[in-house]
Structure 1
């Protein structure tokens, strides 16, 4: 795909899950002509998963462009310059992370006529709420109330990006999500049922016992490491869990503590967990802390007989400096999943 003949649909993704959900959107909408621009982070786990997801996308006939916006001096200005022609010709832009400074900078170049926001974890819920209230785009787990010097410098960029992510007379906004999101005024919400994942993979072989899904709540500064590791050990013992599927951002040190203290096999998934679970084998019970997977796994594993159980985060686990919103937000993730999936999801 050349800059002279850009695809009418252009997607910006920075994580494997975002890329997966762009493929789900393409499947749902009848496979429009699409170019996916991957803006990879620097951590090796994310980059490896993104490489493999990019391969799956190419297998589906999607054009994928790998764009290094973070590596090397001058990488960001070069990225903005090279992607400007693609943005100029796009009728619809898909965004995996509306909170990303890189995406916000790109959106200042041109205002697309149609925007679709696809899931990037629970941030989608926060985005919809902030868009509805007209608030600035700040992640739910961010600590502190004031703007940092860097945020002050980027405030005009963030403000313009927020306007270009908002519906208006000349712009249609869609949220494509597996989460229970209420449509902001003027926007539409399209349910993501993980139809492509179910058609492309599985059904999985379901083994006995349980698998446990890790979270990066410690790494993002929300939860203290000691109670988290203790909770993992307690869940593993109570449910006979044998494997721990690590989040791609979990630290090596924490995972070593978990393996040494519980005997759990640490699995570093090569693809998003929805695809790993669908390919199998997967435990009869999947245990998770509050995260996106308590919404997505019941959809990806529909009809397999696998039970999803969520472990609530106790208030005493939270760090002293955690965001005031953290406790309520995590509880809302659990409660909304229980409401959406009913008997398919229980509390451990």
Structure 2
């Protein structure tokens, strides 16, 4: 049995991409376990993606894993037997505590990590350097919870290390260097291009939002000013919100910039491919500067990425933040690079 675990719409999209790319090599019956987050936008997108997965003949199991006290433990108990039966385990988030706990009972000889965007870049880099697994925007707290879970993380990391009789694959669109023994398979969004589009192009530009404010990396005020500057400079009319962006922040952006705020009901790669989409798509450093050029190949759309000015970073941002974001921009092979967004001049005294 081929068993996948996903916690976001993009992860589920890339399970579909992996299944399509494997063709006859992928087992005919694939079961995807969805461990949904609590925020409504992510849950809505996941439900839409689950419908698409079912249309492709995949069995989807919706497993609530968060919320009431005791739910995480009940979820883990409910999934243990299923995990032990799997011949091949596919996961979307190697940093997930749920996934790391479940890996402790995995007996499968094959393990595949499907694309989770920029997080995949950090995962592969940490794996190659022999470091513990920690998300790039976190400072790596060593509080009681982290100390308690340290053995779980260490055990999971060993499961991601290939050995005799144990294959590890990373399926990704991101530019990564394979650690010793790890197989890298390119995600070129062939399923997305076959399933949707080509899109109708509009005359203007579109801006792709980011959750860098919500994750505590960038200050809200300079971010809003940068969005406004991009809209003025490039004639943008729409802002595609990230699913984790706060409603209050989006209302402020709409009032300050006049942009139409769009809350996508599917991952942006599918929304853009389905269209309509601007001839130019503007983004800050994020996954889409790598994935949209692939999903929109041959359509005439230009993807441009705007650097993050170090002055926009919060004092509490991880010391790795600037270097990581710069790396995302510098390695975007098919995206046009923009300088820092020109902010509005200060008001005259």
TM range (shorter): over 0.9
Q: Which among 76, 90, 93 is matched to residue 94 of structure 1? A: 90
Q: What's the Cα RMSD here?
A: 1.1
Q: Distance in 1 between matches of 2:143 and 2:293?
A: 39
C-alpha contact (below 8 Å) 2:86/2:107 kept by paired residues: no
**Which residue of 265, 284, 291 maps to 2:279?**
284
Q: 2:338 aligns with which of 310, 326, 347?
A: 347
Equivalent pair of 1:216/1:249 in contact (CA under 8 Å): yes
Deviation of the 1:346 alpha carbon: 3.6
* C-alpha separation in 2, matches of 1:71 and 1:61: 30
**Contact persistence 1:39–1:67 (CA under 8 A):** yes
Q: Is 1:54 aligned to residue 47 of structure 2? A: no
* 3-state DSSP of counterpart to 2:239: strand
CA-CA distance at 1:146 after TM superposition: 4.3
Work out whether 1:331 is the aligned partner of 2:326. yes
| Structure 1 position 113, deviation (Å) | 1.2
Name which of structure 1's ranges 241-250 and 81-90 shifts more when overlaid on structure 2.
Answer: 81-90
**Paired residue secondary structure (1:277):** helix
Please point out which of 8, 15, 18 is paired with 2:8: 15
Q: Deviation at 1:249?
A: 0.4
Q: Report the secondary structure of 2:299's partner residue.
A: coil
The answer to whether the Cα contact below 8 Å between 1:112 and 1:164 also exists between their aligned partners in 2 is no
- 2:301 is aligned with 1:306: yes
Structure 1 Cα separation of the partners of residues 67 and 51 of structure 2: 22
Q: Which residue of structure 2 lines up, in the alignment, with residue 63 of structure 1?
A: 59
Q: Distance in 2 between matches of 1:214 and 1:146?
A: 28
SS at match of 2:280: strand
Q: Counterparts of 1:245 and 1:146 in 2: how far apart (Å)?
A: 32
Report the alpha carbon displacement of residue 89 of structure 1 after superposing the two structures with TM.
1.4
Unaligned runs of 5+ in 1: 1-7
1:220 maps to: 215
Aligned to 1:73: 69
Equivalent residue, structure 1, for 2:243: 248
Runs (4+) of structure 1 exceeding 3 A deviation are none
1:28 is aligned to 21
Q: TM-score, normalised by structure 2?
A: 0.94
The residue aligned with 1:174 is 169
User: How far apart are 1:134 and its partner, in Å?
Assistant: 1.3
Of residues 227, 231, 236, the one that matches 2:231 is 236
| SS, match of residue 29 in structure 1 | helix
1:66 CA displacement: 0.3
The aligned residue for residue 124 of structure 2 is 128
Distance 2:165 2:54 in 1: 32
Contact 1:290/1:330 (<8 A) preserved: yes
Distance 1:185 1:224 in 2: 39
Deviation at 1:170, TM superposition (A): 2.7
TM-score, reference length from structure 1: 0.95
Asked if the contact 1:96–1:120 (Cα under 8 Å) also holds between the matched residues in 2, the reply is: yes
**Secondary structure, aligned partner of 1:218:** coil
In the alignment, the residues of structure 2 paired with residue 282 and residue 253 of structure 1 have an alpha-carbon distance, to the nearest angstrom, of 25
> Residue 68 of structure 2 aligns to a residue in which SS?
coil
1:157 to 2:152 alignment = yes
Shift in Å, 1:72: 2.2
Gaps of at least 5 residues in structure 2 are 340-349
Q: Distance in 2 between matches of 1:322 and 1:232?
A: 20
Q: Does 1:320 align with 2:311?
A: no
Count of residue pairs brought into register by the alignment = 336
